[in-house]
Amino acid sequence: MVVAVGCLAVALPLAACGSDSSDGKSSGGGGSKDPISIGNISAMSGPILLPFGAQGAKAYFDALNKQGGINGRKVNYIVADDKSDPTAASQQARKLVQQNGIVGFAGGVSLVDCTVNGKFYQQQKIANVMGGASDPTCFTNPMISPVNTGVLTGVTAGLYYMGKTLGQVPSCTLNNNIPTINDAYGAAISRYEQLAGQKVAFQSHAVTPNSNLTTLMLQVKKAGCKSLVATFSGAQVPALVKAGKQVGWKGGLLLGGASYVASTPKALGADGEGVYTTSELYPYTSRDPILDPVKKDLKAAGVELTGLTEAGWLSAKIMADTIKGIKGDVTKASVLAALQKLTTYDTAGLTAQPYAFGPGDAHNPNQAIWPVVIKNGDWDPAATKFSTLPSS
Amino acid sequence: MIQAGVSGILAGAAVAMLGACMVFMYRMVRVLNFAQVAIGTAGAFVSIILGEHGWPFVPAAAAGVLAATAIGVLCGTIMSALFTEASTEARSTVAITFLIALVTLGSWIFGSDPRPIPQLLPHSNLQVGDIEVSAATIVTLVLAIGLAGAATLLLKRTRLGTLLRAMAEGSRAAELLGVPSRRMAIGVWGVSAAVAAIAVLLAAPSRQSDFTALSVQLLLPAVAAASLGLLRSLPGAVAAGLGLGVCEALVTYSSDLAPYADAVPLLAILLVLGWTQRKAVWDEAR
């Protein structure tokens, strides 16, 4: 009993501290020269490693801090590991917002964050400029605006590029079996059919890591598909390409953004020549000076340039530039208000359209892909500009 | 439809080889070896890494099979030294420990990036009427059936087979009669590991190409094949493996059923358990 009362006596002031910090003033904001705390929830460990957005964002904030920070205040960038585990994601979000007093999130790449914490972010009214979002709920939350295209818009844009731009029709698509988004895949495909005025000849959202890809490629061949958009994991891509060759299918293949990594052309070897993938931002394998500011910060931090580190860097820059423009206290409320006024942000060519957060209930400002193709064993931009989806 | 079924034979034949290995080990050394696929995958990945370093396929594959054999021998040595008298359930639990250790070590050593998996046989197809059968399918099918036949003959018709059966009946008693049970048990682990490595090498080009996925994905179908062989019959396990491969392919071919294709091996295991345990359930009900 004495112990319980003692615990209560200790816990109450702590809880009070927690509620003080939950408005984002105690450590993240204020008119002082205290550091501004910005959070990130990413899969830093666990079965699927996605630390890249956090690495890119940290490289940007490190460089910014060396130059004096935001209006003379250093950025305290706190990266929390969700391990792709919903319980961990939930705990980390509450810790960051209620204990660490962050003023917003930037650069996160997580498979569970939006589904698990989406409502919490709305209750807390805290903004999240995600680096790499795949879950459709990341694009339908008023508090979240990712910088990347996302898998669903990626499917629409991929089909549009292969079918409408390259004229390889009919197009077909194979996607992972994720029951929560299978209907959304259907909507993404319908959107392509509406925009392009073309029908998808075969679609399957039944691919699992154990699927017999030879059987699926037989169906692709039987349906007469001239092009195929396949969005599943990079580790399955070599088997898909081999299965295509096995059944004698000779169409054009475009992979999802997850395959745009250096290991894919190596794993595909000679079979990979002519295989396309999707870059959701400016292609990181391009030698264009557009990427120089990104490369400079990443190099200084010893971080490898990839699509996701580029996305993390960009989301950190958007968050920092937004905070820079705030007059008065930097709190989660003032950061959200500033982002809700941000309807056009020039990304200096890193995305097809200007980035937007804005006041809307759903955000998916990036409506384009840049197709990249394997040429001489490495990724090479397949076009000279983004392939942007028409608005209607 | 028939072509879709044929496309499942390659995967099914690899599963058949792994299932037959599991039955062989269960009968000879009293262990349901859950580490069978992981040991084979470790060997296959040694081949892949050597291939990345410029080794031609055949020496790289041979080195991979040898590496798997060495891992099998190591596991067999541990099992023989520490768990000879343990129950089958306890020994099978030790095999699960081997599986966890191998998957952890393997993913640490080989990472999660996709690997360039060499194609053992060219993309050549044999045309039978309207049906195309790949060279890999034919070779794997012949290997699986040949393996089951050879193992059955070995056990029934050779002196080594008699010694193995004596060991299986009672390791300690056989040892007292001069049968080198311990060495033979370790040999069974080594040979099964070598066969598992060959099966994984044959199946790998059509599978997810990272270590963890490859180690785990083929395990459930292999256990299902061994179960359908009632953990006794080598030809039964091979037939079951082939049947599972064809069934999975046909289910995948059907748009409505495709999302449930992964459940086929699980369903097979449940059916076997239901059938083999029916008497106990009925007895209890009476």
Consecutive sets of 10 residues in chain B, 286 residues long: mean pLDDT of each?
80 91 90 94 93 88 95 94 88 94 90 74 70 80 89 86 79 73 89 93 82 86 91 90 90 81 86 80 64
Among partner residues A234, A239, A268, which is closest to B207 by beta-carbon distance? A239
The structure tokens 């200096």 sit at A348
Distance between B202 CA and the closest CA of chain A, angstroms: 12
Rounded average pLDDT over A376-388: 94
Residues of B in contact with A245 (CB under 8 A): 123
Q: What is the pLDDT of residues A256-274, one digit of tens each?
A: 888 898 889 988 888 899 9
Q: Looking at residue A103, what is its pLDDT? A: 97
Q: To the nearest whole percent, how much of chain A has pLDDT over 70?
A: 91
Q: What is the 3-state secondary structure (H, E, C) of chain A?
A: CHHHHHHHHHHHHHHHHHHHHCCCCCCCCCCCCCCEEEEEEECCCCCCCCCHHHHHHHHHHHHHHHCCCECCECEEEEEEECCCCHHHHHHHHHHHHHHCCCCCEECCEECCHHHHHHHHHHHHCCCEECCEECCHHHHCCCCECCCCCCHHHHHHHHHHHHHHHCCCCCEEEEEECCCCCHHHHHHHHHHHHHHHCCCEEEEEEEECCCCCHHHHHHHHHHCCCCEEEECCCHHHHHHHHHHHHHCCCCCEEEECHHHCCCHHHHHHHHHHCCCEEEECCCCCCCCCHHHHHHHHHHHHHCCCCCHHHHHHHHHHHHHHHHHHCCCCCCCHHHHHHHHHCCCCECCCCCCCCCECCCCCCCCCCCCEEEEEEEECCEEEECCCCCEECCCC
Q: How far apart are CA B280 and CA B286, in angstroms?
A: 10
Task: Choose the closest CB to A235 out of B4, B134, B209.
Answer: B209
Its sign, for the CA torsion B8, B9, B15, B19, is positive
**Are A173 and A157 within 8 A, CB to CB?**
no
Better pLDDT: B107 or A283: A283
Residue A358 backbone class (left: φ over 0; alpha: ψ -120 to 50; beta: rest): left
Angle of CA points A191, A193, A195, to nearest 5°: 65
DSSP helix/strand/coil, B32: coil
Closest of B232, B228, B255 to residue B240, by C-alpha? B228
Contacts with A, B 187-246, CB within 8 Å: 205-210, 213, 217, 245
Q: How far apart are CA B235 and CA B228, in angstroms?
A: 11
CA distance A203 to A353: 29
ipTM of the complex: 0.76
Pick left, alpha or beta for residue A200 (phi over 0 → left; psi -120 to 50 → alpha; otherwise beta).
beta
What sections of chain B are H helices per DSSP?
Answer: 2-7, 9-29, 36-52, 57-82, 88-110, 135-157, 159-169, 171-176, 181-203, 211-217, 219-228, 234-253, 264-276, 278-285
Q: Chain B: nearest CA to A71, how far in angstroms?
A: 41
Per DSSP, the three-state class of B87 is coil
- Indicate yes or no: CB of A218 within 8 angstroms of CB of B4: yes
- Indicate the DSSP class of residue B263: G
Looking at residue B108, its pLDDT comes to: 86
pLDDT at A28 over 80: no
What does DSSP say about strands A200-207 and A109-110: parallel, antiparallel, or unpaired? unpaired
* Residue located via tokens 């080794």: B55
In angstroms, the CA A380 to CA A363 distance is 30
Residue of B nearest to A205 (CA): B259
Contact pairs from chain A to chain B, CB under 8 Å = 104
**Model confidence at A134, in pLDDT bands (50, 70, 90)?**
confident
Tell me the whole-structure pTM to 2 decimals. Answer: 0.81
pLDDT of residue A253: 97
pLDDT at A354 > cutoff 60: yes
Q: What integer pLDDT is reported at residue A116 of this predicted model?
A: 95
Nearest to A267 among B11, B116, B261 (CB): B116
Q: What is the mean pLDDT of residues A118-124?
A: 97
Contact between B132 and A247 using a beta-carbon 8 Å cutoff: yes
Tens digit of each residue's pLDDT (9 = 90 or more) over A218-238: 899 989 999 999 987 777 888
Summary mean pLDDT of chain A: 88
Are residues A204 and B205, on separate chains, in Cβ contact within 8 Å?
no
Tokens, residue B7 = 């496309």
Of A35-49, A296-310, A338-352, which gets the smallest average pLDDT?
A35-49
Lowest mean pLDDT among A276-280, A365-369, B132-136: B132-136
Taking 60 as the threshold, does the pLDDT of residue A2 lie above it? Answer: no
Do the Cβ atoms of A222 and A186 come closer than 8 Å? no
Query: What is the reported pLDDT for B286?
Result: 63
Q: Does the structure show a pLDDT above 50 at A390? A: yes
Contact across the interface for A215 and B252, Cβ inside 8 Å: yes
Give residue A7's pLDDT band: very low, low, confident or very high (50, 70, 90): very low
Which of A45, A176, A211 to mutate to test binding with chain B, by most B CBs within 10 Å of its CB? Answer: A211
Over residues A93-121, the mean pLDDT reads 95
User: Cβ contact (<8 Å) for A214 and B116?
Assistant: no
pLDDT given at position B268? 87
**Residue-wise pLDDT tens digits, A197-219:** 999 999 988 888 778 888 889 89
Please judge whether A215 and B217 are an interchain contact, meaning their C-beta atoms are less than 8 angstroms apart: no
pLDDT for the residue numbered A6: 41
Answer yes or no: is pLDDT of A366 > 50: yes
Query: Does the pLDDT at position A370 exceed 90?
Result: yes
Of A372 and B120, which is predicted with more confidence?
A372
Closest residue, chain B, to A271 (C-alpha): B116
